[in-house]
Amino acid sequence: MLDALEALAEHRAAVVVIGAQAVYLRTGRAQVALAEATKDSDLAIDPRTLGEDPRVEAAMRAAGFVPDPRHGQPGAWVNVDGIPVDLMVPESFAGAGGPNARGARVPPHDRRAMRRARGLEATLVDSTVEKVNALDPADPRSFEARVAGPAALLVAKTYKIAERIDTPRRLVDKDAHDMYRILVALETEPLAESFRRLLADPISASTTAHALEEIAELAAPGPQALVPMMAGRAEEGIGDPVTVALSTSLLARDLLTALA
């Protein structure tokens, strides 16, 4: 991940750390059974502040990244150590494209350098600059980088799960567990306040409103709902799946109640 931040150092202002690493940064203190093991790095790119030079694809290649041959989809990069990095542009900023377009059209950058993704608009609104360290304690590097806030991460995770409902094999329990972590780590009121800001900002309003509808359907109904069930399952054998599932649904409901 630090390699990717280093690669895109010139575009630092346009890069937002999202995904598991951001969740970890936002919730590190939350006491949960599941260990951090992810090497994946997801980065959201804000085309509004993305400069023309260097070109994203050139910067990535110069830092040793190549398009990930396993996926063949735009925005998926991997370096020689096998560390994957995903560069994603929120759909409403990803330019024109048919319903099947996958690459983000952000000229003059290559249309395969970044992938368009739904539900990331909030990460452009809700982020703060944080010090990002390497997960490997032996790696002394650290960077100042924009990191998505908890509310934006919750929106992004909700989209990710909701999009994959119809292809259950692509559902990853860890994503639901990340939602649980966020809900546990933040008191309801500050989290609700962040959501209010996202709802008030034209960039993120509709994305956020839709995410809340999905949360109402997929997380809040009870411990048997999809998200709580997946979050609990992620702790099977190491934690307390039933407690995690119940907590997830209760805290999701608390959030919706605070926003009602």
Partner 1 sequence: MTIELNPPTSSVELVRRASEALAARLPAGWSLRPATIDAAVDRGVDAAFDLAAPDGRSAVLIIEAKNVAEVRDVPGVVRQIAAYVGQVDNGYGVLVARYLSPQVRSALTESGVSFVDATGNIRVELSAPGLYLGDRGADADPWRGRGRPRGTLKGAPAARIVRAIADIPGEWTIRELVRGAGVSTGTGYRVIDFLEREDLATREERGRIAVPSWEKVLRRWSEDYSFVGDSRVTRWIAPRGLEALLKRIAQTGPVDYAITGTVAAAEWAEYAPARAAAIYTADAESAAADWGLRAADAGANVLLAEPEIDVPFVRTVTNTAGLRLAAPSQVVVDLMTGPGRNPQEAEELMEWMKNNEDSWRAG
Which residues of the shown chain bind partner 1 in the complex (CB under 8 A)?
30-32, 183-184, 223, 240, 242-247, 250-251, 254
Report in angstroms how near the CB of residue 188 gets to partner 1 at its nearest: 9
Task: Answer whether 168's CB lies under 8 Å from 237's CB.
Answer: no
Q: CB nearer to partner 1: give 28 or 51.
A: 28
Report in angstroms how near the CB of residue 27 gets to partner 1 at its nearest: 11
Q: CB nearer to partner 1: give 31 or 100.
A: 31
Q: How many CB atoms lie within 10 A of CB 202?
A: 8
CA pair distance 224, 227, nearest whole angstrom? 8
Q: CB nearer to partner 1: give 120 or 234.
A: 234
Q: CB nearer to partner 1: give 8 or 229.
A: 229
Report in angstroms how near the CB of residue 259 gets to partner 1 at its nearest: 17
Report in angstroms how near the CB of residue 240 gets to partner 1 at its nearest: 6
CA pair distance 223, 66, nearest whole angstrom? 42
Counts of helices then strands in the chain (DSSP H, E):
10, 8
Q: How many CB atoms lie within 10 A of CB 74?
A: 22
Q: CB nearer to partner 1: give 30 or 63.
A: 30
Task: Answer whether 231's CB lies under 8 Å from 245's CB.
Answer: yes
DSSP letters, 63-125, are TT-EE-TTT--TTEEE-TT--EEEEEEEGGGS-S--TT--B---TTS-TTTSEEETT-HHHHH
Report in angstroms how near the CB of residue 8 gets to partner 1 at its nearest: 35
